[in-house]
Structure 1
């Protein structure tokens, strides 16, 4: 199923659920920083130990952080693919 393309005038809502000491979390931040130079993003970072972080973990049942949500839907967890994220934001991916 293809995601609809996000208009350039509208920022994608991205939630990044992280944990201290998580090296994949640092990688995810770097990916988001690079993508944000080309695509408007509204990024919110949430600590895994916060109520919102625990709620995301319970809802999506992922084994480890980071958890990346795009417009409220689970995009992925762990090592985040920049290529796949760009495709989803352009409406060319799942």
Structure 2
């Protein structure tokens, strides 16, 4: 029985505070879904229309949607910087291809 090496690591909690009809928000979700295949991410979405969303936007002084938090810490607002996010995740978890190969070797 094989174990997914990604599931053995604590995921990065990503909170996306989004607004309606926001193309940057749509783009952020697309990028996060792609990265979630390679890195352990727990993604939550909060509407800017909710009290929680308004509080997060205010407390992090985000002028644009989406506001993106990693483990509760401000990461970005507006267009999601994909390369920067990939670098952060790579620093936390290492090379996903190598992790998969090591997992296959140790569990295969």
Scaled by the length of structure 2, the TM-score of the pair is 0.75
Contact 1:13/1:70, CA 8 A, preserved across alignment: yes
Please state if 1:22 is matched with 2:22.
yes
Q: Distance in 2 between matches of 1:89 and 1:71?
A: 12
Q: Distance in 1 between matches of 2:91 and 2:59?
A: 24
Runs of 5+ unmatched residues, structure 2: 1-7, 93-108
- In the alignment of these two chains, the number of paired residues is 85
Residue 90 of structure 1 and its aligned partner are, at CA, apart by 2.6
Q: Distance in 1 between matches of 2:66 and 2:73?
A: 14
Runs of 5+ unmatched residues, structure 1: 1-7
Question: 3-state SS of the aligned residue for 2:91?
Answer: coil
List structure 1 segments (4+ residues) > 3 angstroms apart after TM superposition.
none
Q: Distance in 2 between matches of 1:90 and 1:70?
A: 14
Structure with higher Rg: it is 2
Q: Distance in 2 between matches of 1:35 and 1:83?
A: 11
Question: Which residue in 1 is equivalent to 2:46?
Answer: 46
Scaled by the length of structure 1, the TM-score of the pair is 0.85
Residue 62 of structure 1 and its aligned partner are, at CA, apart by 1.2
User: How large is the RMSD of aligned CA atoms in angstroms?
Assistant: 1.2
Residue 85 of structure 1 and its aligned partner are, at CA, apart by 0.5
Q: Distance in 1 between matches of 2:33 and 2:80?
A: 13
